[in-house]
């Protein structure tokens, strides 16, 4: 049977007299010019949040059968005591966070299209949230959470571009810390990152810097800020990368509590070199020691 014969076999002879579904009472039948298997496919495979919003606005049946609420953003911040999860009531995220979302026993799932913010220093807001998300297409993100599994992290960041802010433990299937280079490998679309290293240096390996500076998508970054850099971070290799990629605005933040005096000697020497380096139209890097910029403020 060729393709035309297969299509003909699936065709419904009289679509106008074939109810695709029944909404409400049996006396009210709704008809579409598509066979039911096609309607079921559309129902179960929405291609975008924008299209899904149009579908549920055109007919309640789609939402009844697959209750998904499309929102531009989702915010949670227990540091500033914002009460629970919220979104912006506007069409796009403008950070007003003026509409609360009650997720306890919610009969729907969320589709986030623009921005996700989870600032949770000591709880499990992210883990609580994930089962209630249908899809996360957020391109910008702020994730400050005690921990996530690598699968949970990948689910949330599938479309992320940046700027993104990450401070958390990301654990593999064996509950071991995922290294910084593995995190970057999992984000091939990312363009800008603010990353906070863990205090114990468990997210840095001897090959971390070597691997990240070889990644082609990292060389296309617009901005990279690395915070709380540990002494196991290969600064010599990274400083060479900085000079070879002046188009990336790089900010490095060191603190006395995380690095040794010996380590800071070479950092300060490189900061002096940057003061006279020609950056043309590009923004000169910042190297911070205890929040003091050694390049631009000294």
The mean-pLDDT minimum among 28-32, 95-99, 114-118, 276-280 falls in 28-32
Between 152 and 83, the higher pLDDT residue: 152
pLDDT at position 130 is 92
pLDDT tens profile 234-289: 999 999 999 999 999 999 999 988 899 999 999 999 999 999 999 999 999 999 99
* Nearest to 111, CA basis, from 71, 52, 150, 55: 71
Find the distance separating the first CA and the last CA of the chain, reported in whole Å. 78
pLDDT tens profile 208-221: 999 999 999 999 99
Percent of the chain at pLDDT exceeding 90: 61
Res. 103 pLDDT band, cuts 50 70 90: confident
Summarize the confidence of residues 169-193 as an average pLDDT.
Answer: 95
pLDDT at position 63 is 86
């Amino acid at each position: 049977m060729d393709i035309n014969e297969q299509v003909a076999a699936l065709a419904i002879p009289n679509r106008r007299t074939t109810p695709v579904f029944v909404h409400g009472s049996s006396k009210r039948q709704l008809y579409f010019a598509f066979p039911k298997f096609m309607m079921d496919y559309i129902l179960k495979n929405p291609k975008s949040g924008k299209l899904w919003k149009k579908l549920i606005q055109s007919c309640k049946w789609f939402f009844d059968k697959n209750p998904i609420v499309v929102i531009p953003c989702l915010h949670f911040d227990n540091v500033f005591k914002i009460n629970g999860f919220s979104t912006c009531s506007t069409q796009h995220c403008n950070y007003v966070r003026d509409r609360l979302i009650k997720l306890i026993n919610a009969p729907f799932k969320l589709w986030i299209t623009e921005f996700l913010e989870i600032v949770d220093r000591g709880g499990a807001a992210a883990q609580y949230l994930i089962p209630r998300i249908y899809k996360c297409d957020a391109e910008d993100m702020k994730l400050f959470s005690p921990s996530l599994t690598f699968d949970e992290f990948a689910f949330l960041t599938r479309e992320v571009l940046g700027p993104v802010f990450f401070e958390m433990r990301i654990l593999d299937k064996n509950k071991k810390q995922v290294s910084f280079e593995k995190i970057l490998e999992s984000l091939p679309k990312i363009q800008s990152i603010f990353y906070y290293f863990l205090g114990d240096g468990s997210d840095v390996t001897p090959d971390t810097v070597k691997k990240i500076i070889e990644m082609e998508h990292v060389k296309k970054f617009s901005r990279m800020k690395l915070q709380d850099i540990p002494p196991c971070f290969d600064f010599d290799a990274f400083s060479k990368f900085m000079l070879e990629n002046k188009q990336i605005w790089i900010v490095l933040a060191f603190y006395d509590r995380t690095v040794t005096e010996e380590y800071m000697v070479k950092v300060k020497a490189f900061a002096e070199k940057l003061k006279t380096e020609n950056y043309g139209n590009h923004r000169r890097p910042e190297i911070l020691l205890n929040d003091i910029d050694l390049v631009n403020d000294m």
